[in-house]
Amino acid sequence: MISILVCTNLLLAVMMTESTGRADVRGSHGEVGILQIRQCVVTDINRAYRERYKLQDFAGEDGVELSLWAFYAYAQIYRARTPEQQCKLWNCGPSYKQPGRQQRAARYWKRVQRWLPAVAGKTLEEVQDEG
């Protein structure tokens, strides 16, 4: 069970998009945890915040809180201020504005948006139970 965390609707929607709210999943390209974090994100966070995180620190139940922080920490690094920018950055990295990535980033943002009404005002546990 995930500890009680204050999550925004946006974070809940991203969690459901990435892992259907499961902290124990591993992606086909090496992504880990509830937000499916990649090594490139960990590298950028370590560089910007002078940390020494390992990808595995974001995996499983123990990595949930750190993963939630990482979403916004990564957005801060690249000055992604709006929810749309934050999601596009999360999915495609800092190149999300480049012509080859814009369409993929837009599709991801639409997937996250589809979850927003379902998660509004709910906890992760409530969303998982419904879904």
Contact between 77 and 16 under an 8 Å Cβ cutoff? The reply is no
Comparing CA positions, the residue from 93, 116, 99 lying closest to residue 10 is 116
pLDDT of residue 10: 93
Give the pLDDT band of residue 2 (cuts 50, 70, 90). Answer: very low
131 is a domain residue:
no
More confident residue, 114 or 6: 114
125 is a domain residue:
no
pTM: 0.89
59 is a domain residue:
yes
Comparing CA positions, the residue from 41, 124, 33 lying closest to residue 78 is 41
Contact between 36 and 62 under an 8 Å Cβ cutoff? The reply is no
Give the pLDDT band of residue 123 (cuts 50, 70, 90). Answer: confident
3-state SS of the chain: helix, strand, coil percent to 5? 65, 0, 30
98 is a domain residue:
yes
Convert the pLDDT of each residue in 17-59 to its tens digit.
999 999 999 998 999 999 999 999 999 999 999 999 999 999 9
pLDDT of residue 121: 85
Domain count, the chain: 1
Q: Which domain holds residue 111?
A: 9-115
34 is a domain residue:
yes
Convert the pLDDT of each residue in 65-88 to its tens digit.
999 999 999 999 999 999 999 999
pLDDT of residue 92: 95
Give 93's contacts (C-beta < 8 A, 6+ positions apart).
40, 41
73 is a domain residue:
yes
Give the pLDDT band of residue 127 (cuts 50, 70, 90). Answer: confident
d(CA 75, CA 30): 21
56 is a domain residue:
yes
Residue 52 belongs to domain with CATH number: 1.10.530.10
Give the pLDDT band of residue 7 (cuts 50, 70, 90). Answer: low
- The rounded Cα 86 to chain-centroid distance in angstroms is 9
pLDDT of residue 1: 33
27 is a domain residue:
yes
- Both tokens of residue 75? 């957005």
